[in-house]
Structure 1
Amino acid sequence: MIQTYQSNLENFIHWAHNTPNNIYLKQPQAGNYKEYTYQESLQIVEQIGSYLNEQLSDEKPKHIGILAKNSAHWILSDLAISYAGAVSVPFYATLTSEQLNQVLVHSDCQILIVGKLDNWDEIQKGIPDSIQLIFTPDSPCQKGIAWTEILTTTLKKLATALPQKDALATIIYTSGTTGVPKGVMITNGSIAQALNLARKIAYLDKPNTRFISYLPLCHIAERNFVEFACTAAGGTIYFVENLDTFQQNLAHARPSHFLAVPRIWAKFKEGILQKIGGQKKLSLLLAIPVIKKIIQKKIQKGLGLDQTCMVVTGAAPMPQELTAWFQTIGLYIQEAYGMTENMGLNSLTPRHKIKLGTVGRVHDQCTTRIDPETGEIQMKANYNCLGYYKNKEQTEALFDGPWLKTGDMGQLDSENYLSIVGRVKDNFKTAKGQYVSPAPIENALSLHEYVEVACVVGVNLPQPLGLVQLSPQALNLSKQELTESLHQLLTDINPMFKKYEYLKKLIILQEPWTVENACLTPTLKIRRMQIEKNVETRMEEWYHDKPTIIFE
């Protein structure tokens, strides 16, 4: 047990010295698992870290990028960068070559570690020739120097210099929901403080902790919840080989801690109901006291979540009806709220006091207020970021004195539970001069079984429109059945909002919103600006068209 958590590297070294033979990383490979003990991992980190340190120029910022999908090499690279006394800069594996070039040049990286990727032929075009490349064994890249070659090279072992508390540990680029990604600067001290805050509520002292890593590690949620938390706990990180093996890998890991974004929870629900024969049959089975617990355990085991002590959602709003549904099968999902700029730590739903409709209770070491004029959530904590790399103007705009401005609109109740009601910048003005907050309307739409995801638009229109992507279940319906169901959806949800927020129509878009076409972020949140740009020339036409449900 670590008395007080320190930096990510120091926590890792503690377990490498005290539990050298425990398994740290488990990487699936064609149905088998390659295991890395803490001791083996430390040897790799020391060797790669020593090489990185030799290559770095003192005349430039000691920044090293990681471009890879989640894998054991991703974690080892991050630790090796820290061991080299450098700053890690992770990049999304789904970036285009232009997007990669933008953040790679902006971040001043000297070296880029390239790992497991799907789109190397395209993305490599964005890498300047001046950047040194290192490629891991699972990488399609064959430029630069091989990871395996470094491991067999005789190097002068670097004397371990423990990370300084106030030193920059990492630059995390935001996923760009509101435009150009910004590089959030996070210190070693912020990581340590965040871990110590989460220690009790995240059950990090529990023995034999197991985490599974599949959401992007360059996002603060996965980085905190999986890499930093598991390393501090001395646990094991399992990885997912690919989308086809996800369920198999999850069942193998049987994690003690599990994080999923709302769209994944919705997919889990769909799969469960499909297997069991529908909601009516499930409700009937759960109503029989004798078999209720048997059914719950069977479903949990089928998911691979029968041994979890902490089940979390975050990164996007979780519909309260979905949270309530999972409670019926014995899974109590805790919602976490935060942003990259505050280490993802603003509030968390307590495991034994979940309050539906909220994103949990504000953390003890985090003071939160609601701006009386804008309704914006503002918070202060000693683990907040330093600001944005090479962006003084936006750093100044981020803070109001010690208060970090989240950009989210919210409400606090008497028990310090926080509710999100929208985004300050997402609000738009209709032709009637009224401001519409789209997020609550989108959440209401997304609860419908035939709606996969929705985006509400309507700048300068008399009433807003709802853009809809259909769920897989909707594909089994006739156009008439679907139209009737969506008509009813409008009838049901419009009275939930102010009259000027009533949706005039629903537009069913055929072209999917994906990460690749920039309509979704890597964490599957909608990119509102891109979606609006795609449809802006059609909005007037849709508004004045006769049908209430329009199929494009």
Structure 2
Amino acid sequence: MTEFSTPLEAFLHWERTDPDRVFLKQPINRNYRTYTYGTAGIEARKIATALLDYNLPDKSQVALLSKNCAHWFMADLAIMMAGHVSVPIYPTLNADSIAQILDLSHSRAIIIGKLDDFGLQKPGISDIPIISVGLYGETEGDSWEDLQQKCRPLAEPYEQRTDDLTTLIYTSGTTGRPKGVMHSAGNFMKSAHTLISLVNLPENPRLFSYLPLSHIAERAGLEMRGMVLGAQIYFPESLATFARDLEAAQPHSFGAVPRIMAKFQEKILESLPQKKLDLLLKIPLVNNWIKKKLRKKLGLSDARIIVSGAAPMASSLIRWYRSIGIEINQMYGMTEDCIISHTNVPGADKIGTVGKPLPGVRTKLSPEGEIWLKNDCLMMGYFEAPETTKSVFTEDGFLKTGDIGEYDHDGYLTITGRVKDQFKTDKGKYIVPTPIELDLSKNNYIDQICVVGTGIPQPIALITPSVLAKAKTQEVLEFSLNEILVLVNSSLEKHEKIEKIVVMKEDWNVENGLITPTLKVKRDSIEKLHRPYYKSWFDRKEKVIFE
């Protein structure tokens, strides 16, 4: 593997040495539009020229608002080629949130790509130059396609250095105001090379980009890693075609969040109920055939590593996938450490943990059990927030992760909770909700969970029902939830026992502000909305309450 010092160096290498190599495969109306490293380079160079023609100050912030698509990659390359700093924005954010990030980052221009409803987001964009991609139906400001006709390709892209500020990544934030994490070009390359060292992938591997590119995991783990490897990147066309697009791509590595894998499980069990699946897996000749078929149908037949991160995955779900021949390795990282922290890998995996420290990572636990770590790609700091930056580092330069954990005798790390997620019941007892939520998630009828209990004697669990649950009667669901309640409580200390399960009427989603764009529950928002009802729910006789 060639070692590169910056993302641009990696891309320019493939553009120069293998311009006909396939880079991006964008589905449009069920047909692929293919961009090679050469053609993508020309488009990016022309947009870089357009950005320079705006006469922005050197190293200006340029925002990027788009779902994952070929033009996201080309826009990011164009921003780097022009010597500017990218500010990726989650494509699901509303106008107010977009305006906040543009203001906090001092963005001087914005590139608009593939979106679901830009009309609702447009009021959040101030009077700055806009480039929009007509291929996805956007017509605001300067047209990407027109600029391809008008502009010459930038002959001499900016010479990127390892210590150059390359991006501001605004954390999705389960709490508080978004913070702009600053990462350098060198950070991205150190992260990418570390991840590449974990498993051997074939030359020009296939990757599937669907997790938000505005999030560090997809940005460092897929975009930057892909450019180092000279990968070919596939994208889903829509949510409706996602499964077909993934099956067609058959990527060589795959990243997911627990909720995605739970949804895949639901879909399998809809067509192949658990009892029937168990029976088929017991038949020697059928066992391998059914595993192979399921793996291919999911799009994972060629995947050499499948990782899950962003939130804990229930051990029961990991074991269920193992039963059908799919190994999921839990990984742990964050925006501030450029996702270089801990991971399990094929052949060295311990279910229930997030693995061992990655190469070059040093860790220690605070007296309270908080995980502190150092690596070679820690953030440069929070943008224009020196005091906040100072608060998350120890005097000797370790990052305070905010997560509580413990190591076993083999060196595997288990995350036991978040420092800020702990709450106290009115008995004065502290509750750590994460392990309880993981135990409850063993029930396939539960989609999302938030264990709460401030101001009441015992904690209660707020849940949203899964697709499987919605197909059942209320009586069936109530019986199943009572069962899991008894099971989970049997292993908890007296003060931890869940008093009630409250089934929410509405799902928690990004649109109503109750989960982040990376599908993590926004505990503060859920508490703010439901805390007034805790006591009345607690006082009711039934154990399972339908809101």
Shorter chain as denominator, the TM-score bin is over 0.9
1:61 Cα deviation from its structure 2 partner: 5.3
2:126 maps to 1:132 = no
Asked if structure 2 preserves the Cα contact closer than 8 Å seen for 1:360 and 1:417, the reply is yes
Q: CA deviation at 1:158?
A: 4.6
Q: Distance in 2 between matches of 1:298 and 1:477?
A: 28
Q: Which residue of 1 is the match for residue 106 of structure 2?
A: 108
Checking the alignment, whether the CA contact within 8 Å between 2:236 and 2:245 is kept in structure 1 is yes
CA distance in 2, matches of 1:524, 1:154: 40
Partner of 2:189 in structure 1? 192
Match of residue 327 from structure 1: 322
The letter of the residue matching 2:187 is S
Question: Is residue 374 of structure 2 the alignment partner of residue 380 of structure 1?
Answer: yes
Cα shift at 1:48: 1.0
What does 1:154-193 correspond to in 2, within 5 Å? 154-155=151-152, 157-193=154-190
Distance 1:157 1:354, change over 3 A: closer
Deviations 1:339-379 (A, max 9, x none): 0000111111021121011011111200011112x211110
Among 59, 62, 70, the residue aligned to 2:60: 62
For residue 222 of structure 1, the aligned residue among 218, 221, 226 is 218
**Can you list the C-alpha shifts for 1:377-424, whole angstroms capped at 9, x where unaligned?**
110112000111111221111111211011111011232211100000
* Distance in 1 separating the partners of 2:154 and 2:351: 53
In structure 1, C-alpha distance between the alignment counterparts of 2:364 and 2:447, rounded to whole Å: 33
Alignment of 1:436-455 (within 5 A): 436-455=431-450
* Residues paired across the two proteins, number: 546
Identity %: 40
Task: Please state if 1:515 is matched with 2:510.
Answer: yes
Alignment of 1:102-501 (within 5 A): 102-129=100-127, 131-155=128-152, 157-204=154-201, 206-276=202-272, 278-372=273-367, 374-401=368-395, 402-501=397-496
- 1:48 is matched by which residue type in structure 2? I
Higher mean C-alpha displacement, 324-333 vs 85-94? 324-333
Deviation at residue 444 of structure 1 after TM alignment: 1.3
Asked if the contact 2:243/2:298 (under 8 Å) is kept, the reply is yes
| Alignment deviations for residues 200-245 of structure 1 (CA, whole Å, 9 cap, x no partner) | 20435x2230011111110111112221111111010001000111
SS at match of 1:377: strand
For residues 29 and 140 of structure 1, the distance between their equivalents in structure 2, rounded to whole angstroms, comes to 12
| Structure 1 range deviating more: 319-328 or 24-33 | 319-328
Query: In the TM superposition, what is the alpha-carbon distance from 1:479 to its structure 2 partner?
Result: 2.3
- CA shift for structure 1 position 51: 1.8
Structure 1 residues 2-23: Cα deviation after superposition (integer angstroms, max 9, x where no partner): 2x12211111111111111110
| C-alpha contact 2:336 2:378 (8 A) present in aligned 1 | yes
Counterpart-to-counterpart distance in 2, 1:23 and 1:209:
10
Offset of residue 141 of structure 1: 3.6
Change (3 A) 1:527 1:165: same
Give the counterpart letter for 1:146 in structure 2.
S
Give the secondary structure class of the aligned counterpart of 2:532. coil
Q: In the alignment, is the contact (CA less than 8 A) between 1:61 and 1:109 conserved in 2? A: no
Q: SS of the residue aligned with 1:409?
A: strand
SS of 1:433's equivalent in the other structure is coil
Q: What is aligned with 1:73?
A: 71
Q: Distance in 1 between matches of 2:103 and 2:163?
A: 25
Q: Would the aligned equivalents of 1:56 and 1:62 in 2 still touch at CA under 8 Å?
A: no
What secondary structure does 1:447 align onto?
coil
Q: Is the 8 A contact 1:336 1:345 kept in 2?
A: no
User: What letter matches 2:116 in structure 1?
Assistant: D
RMSD, aligned α-carbons: 1.4
* Residue aligning to 1:94: 92
Please identify, of 380-389 and 266-275, the stretch whose mean Cα deviation from structure 2 is larger.
266-275
Report the Cα offset of residue 478 of structure 1: 2.6
Is the CA contact 2:50–2:151 (under 8 Å) kept in the aligned structure 1? Answer: no
Q: TM-score, normalised by structure 2?
A: 0.97
2:76 and 2:153 mapped to 1: Cα distance? Answer: 20
Give the Cα–Cα distance (whole angstroms) in 1 for the partners of residues 540 and 478 of structure 2: 15
Q: Distance in 2 between matches of 1:70 and 1:479?
A: 38
Q: Is the 8 A contact 2:42 2:153 kept in 1?
A: no
Distance of 1:157 and 1:214 partners within structure 2: 29
CA displacement 1:430-470 (0-9 Å, x = unmatched)? 11111111111111112201111110111121111110101
CA contact (8 A) 2:193 2:225 kept: no
Question: Which amino acid in 2 is paired with 1:200?
Answer: S
Report if aligned partners of 1:114, 1:139 keep a CA contact under 8 Å in 2.
Answer: no
State the SS of the aligned residue for 1:241.
coil
C-alpha contact (below 8 Å) 1:56/1:110 kept by paired residues: no
TM-aligned CA deviation for residue 156 of structure 1:
7.5
Q: Quote how far apart the aligned CAs of 1:315 are.
A: 1.0
Gap change, CA 1:542 and 1:99, over 3 Å in 2: same
Give, in angstroms, the shift of residue 474 of structure 1.
1.6
2:125 aligned partner, one-letter code: I
Checking the alignment, whether the CA contact within 8 Å between 2:213 and 2:219 is kept in structure 1 is yes
Other structure's SS at 1:185 match: strand
Secondary structure of the 2:93 match is: coil
Q: How far, CA to CA, are the matches of 1:481 and 1:251 in structure 2?
A: 34
| Cα separation, 2, equivalents of 1:198 and 1:142 | 38
Residue 38 of structure 1 is matched in structure 2 by: 37
Measure, in 2, the Cα distance between the counterparts of 1:157 and 1:363. Answer: 38
Partner of 2:525: 530
Amino acid at match of 1:44: E
Cα distance in 2 for residues equivalent to 1:138 and 1:523:
26
Distance 2:249 2:153 in 1: 37
Q: Is the 8 A contact 2:133 2:139 kept in 1?
A: no
Letter of the aligned partner of 1:31 in structure 2?
A: R
Uncovered stretches (5+) of structure 1, i.e. residues with no partner: none
| Counterpart residue identity of residue 21, structure 1 | D
**Structure 2 unmatched runs, 5+:** none
CA deviation profile, 1:152-205 (whole Å, cap 9, x unmatched): 11448352232111110111010111221111000011111112222220435x
Q: 1:350–1:361: 8 Å Cα contact kept in structure 2? A: no
Taking the aligned partners of 2:199 and 2:280, their CA distance within structure 1 comes to 32
Matched residue SS, 2:485:
helix
Q: 12-21 or 192-201, which moves further after superposition? A: 192-201
**Counterpart residue identity of residue 525, structure 1:** K
